[in-house]
Amino acid sequence: MTAPHGDPVHAALDNGLHQLAALGGDLVEQANAIGTILWSPPRVVVVGRLKAGKSTLVNALIGAPVAETAALEATNVVTVYQDGSPSRAEVVGADGQRHPVTVHRDRTIGLPLETPDIAYVDRWMPSAALRRLTLIDTPGLSTLTVANDSATRRVMIDGFEQTRTASVDADAAVFLFDAAPRLDETEFLARLPFTPLNMLGVLSRADSFGEGALGRRDPLDHAAEHATRLATQLSGTVHSVVPISGLMAQTSHTGMLTEQHAAALARLQPMSPLDVLRTFDDDAADGPLPPAVREQLLGLLGEYGVLNGRRIATGGAAALNEWLSARSGIGALHRALDASTARFAVLHRAHRILARLDQLAFTHPARDHIRSLTAQLRGSPALHLVTVLEDYQRMLRTDPQAPVTEDLHTILTATTRAGQVGLPDDAPGHAVTAEAQRRLVMAQQRTLATRSAAEDAALVTLIRTYTPLSTGR
């Protein structure tokens, strides 16, 4: 994760906001409002099909069972989970009005408005995990539930295009699917104002993948293999696909598992897998465990966890918890979020801040001052990558197959100077200079016959990138 205080992107924007405030009047307040975006964690929205396991995963990532997940508790409003004390909530109406609401038992919220009139719910709670990322849970996408579907679409797509008040302003998305994504889902993703760089795919319910717990293959291993294939197929939509058992992650990260659960599970250790599942299937049979306990275990662990966790449970709850966490895939998800998603989410947030300044310049009497301030920010070396991201986003929409789109992608994902010109990271300096010169000449030639305004702008950015590299500076 980024360290905001030492980060040049933050420093440049913070400096720009101070200059904005120095213009006086209402711009002090505007600068503060934009500063709040700058100093808050990146916002990651979790989207996907109905019952894909979104809320379960949100709970696992937060480390507390706050999002509703039971069979009858479909998520029906978009909820923004962020760090803050005291634990509280506000309902934001479609008109932008905020209504404070009471939170019962840290969980259920009485809603003051009808669901269609709600844009989203802002929910604060003290949480170390939320200090790093704000998480946004959404109602499942499905053509069957038009109401829920439109709630998610409204804040994600319409909110962006039409009005700021009802938008949740996400910086990155986690997209959950439990098999191959359907066409309507990938179409929805394509309409989000993101690039594959800040969209992470998650193959959910990995513990019941394929033939499930009793199948010939271990479903978690099978899911991992399938995720690799999907990542290639979906490379135009997401930057990678991580397999996960949200259920095992939730149980092991929210303190739900007790020594009693482990002891009960351990009692099933001598039985054959088929006999174990039979006890769980048949309510009437008097198996080794009372029905209520069986139900609890199944709810916490799923069939896979019950069958494969028995031996581990003989070592106690801590051992079982550790096994669940390790097998769940949550570690790989955290790594993906920390490395790539968070990096591009920070760039995306910087883009959101510049867009806010553009908007302000449009309507404010001090527009000339604000305009020269944003031009100066966009021209600063610290924010160069934000400009590259903006050009990349525009090119993906207008001409994704154009060579410049690929060049912009190369620059964005590079971690070294050599990487920016498509060479291996350890390429010698003279090779980098030569390749940058070659790319510079090509970019200059391309400016003579461009196909769109987006390409014109992208070429200016490419030339600005290659020029210093081509002189070896």
Q: Which residues of this protein are in contact with ligand GTP, per CB under 6 A?
A: 50-56, 69, 71, 74-75, 139-140, 204-205, 207-208, 245-247, 302
Nearer to Mg ion, 70 or 284 (CB): 70
Position of minimal CB gap to ligand GTP: 140
Distance CA 242, CA 258 (A): 28
371 binds, among ligand GTP, Mg ion, none (CB under 5 to 8 A by kind): none
Residue 253 CB, nearest distance to ligand GTP (Å)? 13
CB of 335 to ligand GTP, least distance (A): 19
Nearer to ligand GTP, 251 or 461 (CB): 251
Q: Among residues 257 and 404, whose Cβ is nearest to ligand GTP? A: 257
Residue 21 binding: pick among ligand GTP, Mg ion, none (C-beta 5-8 Å cut-off by kind): none
380's contact among Mg ion, ligand GTP, none, with CB below 5 to 8 A by partner kind, is: none
Helix/strand/coil (H, E, C) string of the chain?
A: CCCHHHCHHHHHHHHHHHHHHHCCCCHHHHHHHHHHHHCCCCEEEEEEECCCCHHHHHHHHHCCCCCCCCCCCCCCCCEEEEECCCCEEEEEECCCCEEEECEECCCEECCCCCHHHEEEEEEEECCHHHHHCEEEECCCECCCCHHHHHHHHHHHHHHHHCCCCCCCCCCEEEEEECCCCCHHHHHHHHHCCCCHHHEEEEECCHHHCCCCCCCCCCHHHHHHHHHHHHHHHCCCCCCCEEECCHHHHHHHHCCCCCHHHHHHHHCCCCCCHHHHHHHHHCCCCCCCCCHHHHHHHHHHHHHHHHHHHHHHHCCCHHHHHHHHHHHHCHHHHHHHHHHHHHHHHHHHHHHHHHHHHHHHHHHCCCHHHHHHHHHHHHHCHHHHHHHHHHHHHHHHHHCCCCHHHHHHHHHHHCCCHHHHCCCCCCCCHHHHHHHHHHHHHHHHHHCCCCCCHHHHHHHHHHHHHHHHHHCCC
Residues that bind Mg ion (CB under 5 A): 54-55, 75
Tokens of 110: 């009485």
The entry of Mg ion, ligand GTP, none near residue 247 (CB within 5 to 8 angstroms by kind) is: ligand GTP
Q: Which does 204 bind (CB under 5 to 8 A by kind): Mg ion, ligand GTP, none?
A: ligand GTP
Question: What does the block give as tokens for 354?
Answer: 């510049």
Give the residue with the Cβ less far from ligand GTP, 195 or 204: 204
Residue number, 60 or 370, with CB nearest to Mg ion: 60
* Binder of residue 329, out of ligand GTP, Mg ion, none (CB less than 5 to 8 A by kind): none
Radius of gyration of the chain measured on its C-alpha atoms? 25
d(CA 332, CA 13): 31
Closest distance of CB 276 from ligand GTP, Å: 16
Residue 310 half-sphere exposure, CB side, CA atoms within 13 Å? 16
User: From Mg ion, ligand GTP, none, which one binds at residue 251 (CB under 5 to 8 Å depending on kind)?
Assistant: none
Q: Rounded to an integer, what distance in angstroms lies between the CA atom of residue 255 and that of residue 274? A: 29
Nearest approach, Cβ of residue 137 and Mg ion (Å): 6
CB of 121 to ligand GTP, least distance (A): 13
State which residue, 127 or 204, has the beta carbon closest to ligand GTP: 204
Q: Shortest distance, CB of residue 86 to Mg ion, whole angstroms?
A: 24
Nearer to ligand GTP, 52 or 423 (CB): 52
Residue 139 C-beta: closest distance to Mg ion, Å: 7
Best CA proximity match to 168, nearest among 184, 152, 186, 146 = 152
Pick 49 or 310: Cβ nearer Mg ion = 49
Measured from the CB atom, is 49 or 417 closer to Mg ion?
Answer: 49
Residue 170 or 462 having the CB closest to ligand GTP: 170
Instruction: Identify what 240 binds: ligand GTP, Mg ion, none; CB under 5 to 8 Å per kind.
Output: none
Shortest distance, position 56 Cβ to ligand GTP, whole Å: 3
Residue 92's φ and ψ, nearest 5 degrees, are: -100, 120
Distance in Å, CB of 75 to ligand GTP, minimum: 3
Please state the closest distance from residue 100 (CB atom) to ligand GTP, in A: 24
Q: How far is the CB of 145 from ligand GTP (least distance, A)?
A: 8
What, of ligand GTP, Mg ion, none, does residue 302 touch, CB below 5 to 8 Å by kind? ligand GTP
Query: Can you read off the two tokens belonging to residue 103?
Result: 């939170």
Please say which residue, 152 or 465, places its beta carbon nearer to ligand GTP: 152
Angle at which helices 342-363 and 367-379 pack, to 10 degrees?
A: 160
Among ligand GTP, Mg ion, none, what binds residue 71 when CB lies within 5 to 8 Å by partner kind?
A: ligand GTP
**Partner interacting with residue 205 (select from ligand GTP, Mg ion, none; CB below 5-8 Å by kind):** ligand GTP
Q: Which residue has the tokens 């992208």?
A: 458
